Every structure is written in structure tokens, then in C-alpha cells.
Amino acid sequence: MRRRHECETPGWQPSELDVEILRLLSRGLTTDAIARRVGVSERTVRRRLRATADEIGVESSIEAVVHAVRIGLI
């Protein structure tokens, strides 16, 4: 059984915060609402989403959410 943050994308080890951001984005929250919910700035949310998308090789945060769903991360 896979641990919570082990995933099928080689080299990608998402943090708890990254997973929570993806989870909240998948539920339709805005970056501002996500920032308030997790206690960081909106800029931090946007930066983490961009870094996640870059790391897994997709073009957008929505594609990152789709990827996370496909691999069972969220």
C-alpha cells in the first residue's frame, strides 16, 4: 500500500501543504480562499501551484489537479 505522499511521478514528493492546496483547488476554491484556509499568502499558493505543475511536467494548476486525481493523491 502506498503511503499518503508517495506517488507515481518519479522524483516528486509533494508536501502536506502542496497536497492540501491541490485538494482545495479540486473542490473549486480560489487561490485567495485556499490561502486563507491554509494560512499562507495568495502569492505562496500561486507559487506552490506553479512549482507543482513544473515538477510534474504539466502546463497548469488544473492539469496538476487532474494528475493528482489520476495517481490517487487526492
| 62-73 average pLDDT score | 94
pLDDT over 90 (residue 62): yes
Q: Identify residue 41 by its one-letter amino acid code.
A: S
Work out the mean pLDDT of the chain and round it to a whole number: 88
What domains can you pick out in the chain, each with its CATH number? Answer: 16-70 (1.10.10.10)
pLDDT over 50 (residue 54): yes
pLDDT over 90 (residue 4): no
- Quote the pLDDT of residue 48: 97
Q: What is the pLDDT of residues 26-47, one digit of tens each?
A: 999 999 999 999 999 999 999 9
